Amino acid sequence: MNYCFKIFIGIIFLYAFNGCRSTKKLQTAISRKDTTVAAVPGLPESDSLSIASMFLKSLDKNRITYNTFSAKVKVQYEDRNGKQPDFIAFIRLQKDSVLWISISATFLSIEAFRIYITPDTIIIINKLDKSVENHSFNYIENFAKIPMNFATLQNLIIGNPVYNGDSIVSYKQTENHILIGTVGSFFKNFLTFSTENNYLEKSKLDDIELGQNRTADLIYDNYEKNSQFSFATYRDITVAEKTKVDIRLTFKQYEFNKELSFPFNIPRNYKTK
């Protein structure tokens, strides 16, 4: 069951690749046309830049605003050893304040971990071996291998855009999609939007440092729309390590702006690690 905690923490940071490094063989297997986007033939560069900027602005326009968020997420994971047992993560989030996570194995139907994260601290209760760990928030930053704060963390959970890049380097339009390439401080990001509704369908991240060779594909699907915003209830992630790792997140339930509690009692007989 310890893998459940590690996988879920990895999922939180998968947009930052969780420090995974692909091998040269895997990196060269990624088609160059998947990571290079040409401008529309015959369209002036200024017009391409204008359209690309408009779609990037649509990400901010569709940004989810909230005070609280709660969700039940089914997590499926597969690596070089094959498919691993599914587990369920229950999430409660008070914006800019507290992130509470409970992890349970679907085949055991028992809670294995409870996690309490604030902008300064992380506390992890391991109910399987009756222990508790205390860390500063830097524990997450060290794990993710890039600068990280609580605001970035909560955007990753909600699905708000992060690491979009501040420079547009390429643009392409097809019948059904807009493809935009950007470069930021850490990653090259190749974004695919639907022309039907401007939804983000895919984000392909490549490490800007050639020596890192980190890469990830993030797919967003099954958007549900309410009066204020759209929420992707299905996310498919492929990260490149020594072999391919597939992670699927299915949001079975989710709610915004409901009153929440964050129960976190540590039994006296639990040992501190």
* pLDDT per residue as tens digits for the range 139-184: 776 655 556 788 888 887 888 876 666 788 888 888 899 888 888 8
pLDDT tens sequence across 229-262: 889 999 888 876 556 778 888 999 999 999 999 9
Q: Rounded distance, CA 62 to CA 152, Å? A: 17
pLDDT tens sequence across 125-142: 988 889 999 989 887 766
Cα dihedral: 48, 51, 53, 59 (round 10): -140
The reply to whether 127 falls in a domain is yes
Q: Rounded distance, CA 243 to CA 246, Å? A: 10
The reply to whether 263 falls in a domain is no
Helix (H), strand (E), coil (C) string for 129-171 = CCEEEEEECHHHHHHHCCCCCHHHHHHHHHCCCCCCCCEEEEE
Count how many domains the chain has. 1
The reply to whether 270 falls in a domain is no
Residue 131, pLDDT score? 93
How far is C-alpha 50 from the geometric centre of its chain's CA atoms?
Answer: 28
Domain residue limits at 109: 2-7+18-253
The reply to whether 271 falls in a domain is no
The reply to whether 198 falls in a domain is yes
The reply to whether 269 falls in a domain is no
Average pLDDT value for residue range 96-123: 87
The reply to whether 199 falls in a domain is yes
Q: What are the C-alpha distances in Å from 81 to residues 91, 121, 235?
A: 28, 34, 22
Q: For the chain, how many helices (H) and strands (E)?
A: 6, 15
How far is C-alpha 86 from the geometric centre of its chain's CA atoms?
Answer: 18
CATH of the domain at 210: 2.50.20.10
The reply to whether 83 falls in a domain is yes
- More confident site: 84 or 45: 84
